[in-house]
Amino acid sequence: MKRILFLLSAIALMSACNTSDEKAVIGKSDIRLESDRMTPEALWAMGRIGSYAVSPDGRQVAYQVTYYSVEEDRSNTVLYRQALSDTVAEMLGLGSDPVWLSDDRLAFASKGEVWTMSADGKGRKQLTQTDGSVEGFLFSPDQKRVILVKQVPFHEIIQQNPADLPKATGRVVNDLMYRHWDHYVESIPHPFVLDLETGEERDILEGQPYECPMEPFGGIEQLAWSPDSKHIAYTCRKKTGLAYSISTDSDIFLYDVETGEEQNLCKTLDYEAPEVNPTHTLSDQAVNQKGNGMSTPQEIAEDGGFYVEQMVGYDQNPKFSPDGRYLAWTSMERDGYEADRLRLCICSLGQGTKQFVTESFDSNVDDFVWGQDSETLYFLGVWHATENLYRTDLEGNVKQLSNYQADFGSLQLVGARGKGQGASSEEQGAGSKEQGASLLMERHDYMHPADLYLAEVLGDSIVELTQVTHENDHILSQIAAGTSEARWIKTTTGEDMHYWIIKPPHFDPSKKYPTLLFCEGGPQSPVSQFWSYRWNFMIMAAQGYVIIAPNRHGLPGFGLQWQEQISGDWTGQCMKDYLAAIDDACQNLPYVDKDRLGAVGASFGGFSVYYLAGHHEGRFKCFIAHDGAFNLEAMYTETEENWFSNWEYDDAPWNRDMTARARKTYDNSPHRFVDKWDTPILCIHGEKDYRINYTQGMSAFNAARMRGIEAQLLIFPDENHWVLHPQNGVLWQRTYFQWLDRWLKK
């Protein structure tokens, strides 16, 4: 692969973009490592590729990279432009979220406003004047309007304090969802349509107490313009308070820009239903769900169609087909189940009919894009612990297109580059199926952070995959990488289970290595070839550790039955799977030192560590739990998204006639087994973590010390469920490895 040559240095960027009252721009790091071992400092010196966009002619890409300064404890984001056929990336200056307005002009975000500039970074002009309140934007195809996402005051849950008490910090709360993820909810995002010719602005949700995009992670991808610029499809969960906190039922709305009228595409039935497709009916489990108000498959069949009332789970991220005839979005089947299988739903806007086109893929659709023929869709999904590229058509014929030991994280269609290589339907012939496409995709794996790759698809396979960006080659070239390989074993159920083995650089099979059991979070997040800037397997291996990372029951990519086994059984089969994996490694991998084992994990992985601490029967010599649940009875009322505990625990802890599944969950909460703890443990938590409150980590640490067990507590007053500040990130890594080295490298 050719290495990118950057035209502008960080110093040049500083002189081009800085003013006297601004901080110096953080650019590409020139770090020089003292050895070939990955360090926390090297990890934080890496540039992190984010949003990207392909030019209309398919020849260029604009993308953003975020750089961090550990010394200054801050970051900034810069823009680059690169020809897909070239090796040179040109730095354009500060900014984020690039969008091509034409082949020679870009729009982007900076300081909470929308700006435009020429493709070479010159002629910057501020388009919006909002006092820095823009959080996202989306231009209409005719570029006469732009959607602006901005916060609006919201005091339905938390009362606004009296005007004569301006310094009062108290909050009067009247309902649930008064805080979310890491903030108190006193404002919510709304999408505004700005007419660029008249300057008039309209709040699509004016007067409505609902958020769009949905917090805490939703972005501009939850809205879409129709190709004719006359309609907007948007995602919204029109609930507040208690109703919001117990439901995942979001819908797709179609909004008429001229009239302001809208239609709920997930609930409205104003068309003649099509003949029923038996593959699109609900599962028995969904039909039998308590109190969901769904129709049964038999009722659906008798009525002759697909009832939209079924669409009561997460529906989000709409995308119009290029010809405007269809709208696609990802859809979950059941209300209150946030980890339900993500399917791809297609709505025919002319007829109002809907169908699911990925039913034969027994896993999630994580991102998707329409092909140019408006009859083909490309999507990313995880299967057997890797995230690869797939294709489907409107009949639901799914085909796997790539099979790399890597993860693709996002994708975009590249403009027409010749017949059979992303050619339009007219170029391919009327009525023909799309036979090829060019896709720009983000790719990463355990030993490589994100870069952009060009995938040329022809027929049923990728014919060429070309690396486009080389953002961190100057750092990776100094580091000796470890390796990863897959292993399959039998679980105690007799089923096959996959786990990853990550080996240190300069691996010597004749040696014995301290070994870590990695416990995944979620509890239903895949252990695929992810790249993390905290739970990073490359840096763990670089410190001389072998990592065992099981895809235990409860994880996607091995079928819905495997994934759903964990609900109501947090301390059952998945814990047996963890022990089966580490036992197999000790018995069959001669380089694993069974006398120097540690178990580590975050979120549900932290819960797993707390549970294993009372049930490991002497296997492990130390534990590390980050943001883990320790007391499930307390967490039931502490967490903000109550649908999660309702689904996973099955019942409230105060119900004396609770289900047997709920009783098992609460009876096996980790805090009930502290009397069996006998192993050193490091507890880490953020005080702004409202998903799993920091009191859970403090309680675990306090319990360990009161039992006389060696323990440490790393507490972050300014971090949420993640660790986002550079110096906190380095402190996290150093504390993590100091603890492991203390107990596993004796």
Active centre residues (catalytic): 603, 689, 721
Three-state secondary-structure class, residue 701? helix
Six-digit token string for 364? 């999630």
Six-digit token string for 617? 């029967």
| Distance from C-alpha of 543 to C-alpha of 512, rounded to nearest angstrom | 14
Helix, strand, coil shares, percent, the chain, to 5: 20, 30, 50
| Distance from C-alpha of 542 to C-alpha of 479, rounded to nearest angstrom | 9
Indicate the helix (H) or strand (E) that contains 608. Answer: helix 604-612
Cα Rg of the chain, angstroms: 26
Helices (H), 351-441: 425-428
Residues contacting 743, CB < 8 A, separation 6+: 598, 621, 622, 680
| Distance from C-alpha of 607 to C-alpha of 625, rounded to nearest angstrom | 7
Six-digit token string for 696? 């859970």
The secondary structure of 578-590 as a DSSP string is HHHHHHHHHHH-T
| Distance from C-alpha of 691 to C-alpha of 522, rounded to nearest angstrom | 12
Q: Are 159 and 174 in contact (CB under 8 A)?
A: yes
Give the β-pairing of 367-370 and 315-320.
unpaired
396 vs 308, 357, 393, 399, 424, CA distance in Å?
19, 4, 5, 10, 21
Six-digit token string for 90? 């040109």
| Distance from C-alpha of 114 to C-alpha of 126, rounded to nearest angstrom | 6
Q: Are 682 and 736 in contact (CB under 8 A)?
A: yes
Provide the residue type at 7 as one letter. Answer: L
Closest CA to 343 of 385, 302, 390: 390
